[in-house]
Structure 1
Amino acid sequence: MTDNMHPQIPMPALPPRPDDTGAATPQPASPQPTPTYPDTANVTPQPEYPGLSAATPQAQQPYPGYPTYPEQPAQPYGQPPSSAYTSPAASGTSTPPPYGGVDVPPSTPAGGTPPPNGYGPQPIPVTVVQQAPAYKLKTNRGLLKYILLGLITFGIYDIVVMYDVTESTNMVATPHDGRKSTNYLLMFFLFGWLSLGIAWLVWYSNLSDRIGNELQRRGMPREVSMADFWLWGILGSLIIVGPFIYLHKLLKATNLMCEDYNARG
């Protein structure tokens, strides 16, 4: 058989031949880059976000487009220092008060005490305006007219005068003392005669006391009283002029009461 019948098979490369000592000859290797690592012992930890230190906590970022305002302390009833509201006259300095030159007192919490230096809720003075009544009472009563016109009219003028005294007293004094004198016409035509004159004593005594109390309430001299009726009207009849003195005091006191009522109500 010839060599052409057997194809040639390529042989693999043989390993390097060992030297005499039996060790293989090392082949030169391509140089590899040596990686460099930083010194991690002296490296400061970096913050997660740039611009912030590691020791400082991250501040909350405001929303874009909205202005930022300083946070106010939660003091619902906090009072400013008393020196902030001290007037220049009290402090001796020329420092103007806060709030643009207006001395504004601080508010006082409910149930608390007012702040010092006289500030706080102050009582508001209320001025009561008294309006004069539209209806004017008579103020021209006199003893001489009472006697003379009473004689001319056979006592009718005296009845009209005493009726007017009773109604004027009820109009002026009843809203304050809660009392009301009986109508003079009822006394003259009914109760006086039925009681044999006892009702007259009670009626004149109460009427004199009411007029005197009303004058005293209005800050005026007490011109007539219950004692005047019993002393001048009853006991004074022994000297004849006593009842006339009582009538003069009664009519004068009624005129003073009506004059004050016409002026102040």
Structure 2
Amino acid sequence: MTDSNMHPQIPTPALPPRPGTSGATPAPTYPGMSSGAPQPQQTYPTYPSQPSPSSQPYAEPANNATPATHYADANIPPSTPAGGAPMPNGYGPQQPIPVTVVQQVPAYKLKTNRSLLKYILLGLITFGIYDIVVMYDVTEATNMVATPHDGRKSMNYLLMFFLFGWLSLGIAWLVWYSNLSDRIGNELQRRGMPREVSMADFWLWCILGSLIIVGPFIYLYKLLKATNMMCEDYNARG
């Protein structure tokens, strides 16, 4: 028994021909495609191109441009009438809120009961001590009320009475009473009150009026009255 009988020969399929040979297999065709004809390129839809930005993207509006005054969906409150009356629903001009200014009243009250009669009678009884106390009080009250505004300060009456008045042979008395009268008159005028006493009153009534004897008493009356008015206003308004 030969080998051929034991192993039968199996036929080998033929290999496809090489590309480019005469026996090349034609390329497969698909429905709608004609063989051998060039295929057209697929076209895509075109879209409008975006306009190029302007060279001046933020140009100023024209001078004659009118701002828009109507908005369809805007919730704009109603305007106020020409008369100024407030509109309903709370719209309209707001009224100014009144402000109350509270003036601080001084804690220390100044005396306001000075009188010419007490000055004369109690001065005689106390041998002039009451008169010194009254004039000292007038000086301190004037400094307390007027000094914050005029920046001046009258000398203490005790120093004037016991020292400078005698050393100056009475000249310091004239200057002191003249300046004190002027300060009290200026303070009354600043507070909107009548000027009851002044420097001219001292020279007219106290100096020249001494020739008629009653002149100095008229001056003292005007001085004490003006001091009481100044102290009353200070106690009420500060």
TM-score (norm 2): 0.66
| Residue of structure 1 in register with 2:214 after alignment | 241
| Residue of structure 2 in register with 1:152 after alignment | 125
Report the count of equivalent residues. Answer: 186
Amino acid at match of 1:217: R
| Residue of structure 1 in register with 2:164 after alignment | 191
Q: What SS is found at the alignment partner of 1:227?
A: helix
- In structure 1, C-alpha distance between the alignment counterparts of 2:200 and 2:177, rounded to whole Å: 11
| Residue of structure 2 in register with 1:23 after alignment | none
- In structure 1, C-alpha distance between the alignment counterparts of 2:196 and 2:171, rounded to whole Å: 25
| Residue of structure 1 in register with 2:176 after alignment | 203
Amino acid at match of 1:240: I
Query: Does the Cα contact within 8 Å between 1:85 and 1:103 map onto a contact in 2?
Result: no
Amino acid at match of 1:90: A
The CA deviation at 1:35 is: 1.8
| Residue of structure 1 in register with 2:193 after alignment | 220
Q: What SS is found at the alignment partner of 2:82?
A: helix
| Residue of structure 1 in register with 2:139 after alignment | 166
| Residue of structure 1 in register with 2:234 after alignment | 261
Q: What SS is found at the alignment partner of 1:236?
A: helix
Matches of residues 75-90 of structure 1 in structure 2 within 5 Å? 87-90=79-82
Summarize the Cα distance change of 1:92–1:231 in structure 2 as closer, same or farther, 3 Å threshold: closer
Summarize the Cα distance change of 1:86–1:260 in structure 2 as closer, same or farther, 3 Å threshold: farther
TM-score (norm 1): 0.60
1:55 aligns with 2:69: no
| Residue of structure 2 in register with 1:5 after alignment | none
1:110-165: CA deviations, max 9, x gaps?
xxxxxxxxxxxx9x987642111111000000011100110111101000000000
Task: Structure 2: state its 5+ residue gaps.
Answer: 1-25, 51-66, 71-75
The CA deviation at 1:179 is: 0.4
Query: Does the Cα contact within 8 Å between 2:80 and 2:92 map onto a contact in 1?
Result: no
- In structure 2, C-alpha distance between the alignment counterparts of 1:205 and 1:173, rounded to whole Å: 15
Summarize the Cα distance change of 1:245–1:103 in structure 2 as closer, same or farther, 3 Å threshold: same
Q: What SS is found at the alignment partner of 1:259?
A: helix
Summarize the Cα distance change of 1:157–1:32 in structure 2 as closer, same or farther, 3 Å threshold: closer
| Residue of structure 1 in register with 2:33 after alignment | 35
Amino acid at match of 1:89: P
Matches of residues 12-27 of structure 1 in structure 2 within 5 Å? none
| Residue of structure 2 in register with 1:113 after alignment | none
Query: Does the Cα contact within 8 Å between 1:192 and 1:198 map onto a contact in 2?
Result: yes
Amino acid at match of 2:212: I
Amino acid at match of 1:88: T
The CA deviation at 1:102 is: 5.4
| Residue of structure 1 in register with 2:60 after alignment | none
Pairing partner for 1:135 from 98, 101, 108: 108
Larger RCO, structure (CA 8 Å, separation 6 or more): 2
- In structure 2, C-alpha distance between the alignment counterparts of 1:181 and 1:125, rounded to whole Å: 41
- In structure 2, C-alpha distance between the alignment counterparts of 1:175 and 1:82, rounded to whole Å: 59
The CA deviation at 1:101 is: 4.9
The CA deviation at 1:103 is: 5.8
- In structure 1, C-alpha distance between the alignment counterparts of 2:84 and 2:220, rounded to whole Å: 67
Summarize the Cα distance change of 1:195–1:89 in structure 2 as closer, same or farther, 3 Å threshold: same
Query: Does the Cα contact within 8 Å between 1:85 and 1:104 map onto a contact in 2?
Result: no
1:181 aligns with 2:182: no
Runs of 4+ in structure 1 over 2 Å off: 31-34, 36-41, 54-57, 80-87, 89-96, 100-105, 124-129
Query: Does the Cα contact within 8 Å between 2:184 and 2:226 map onto a contact in 1?
Result: yes
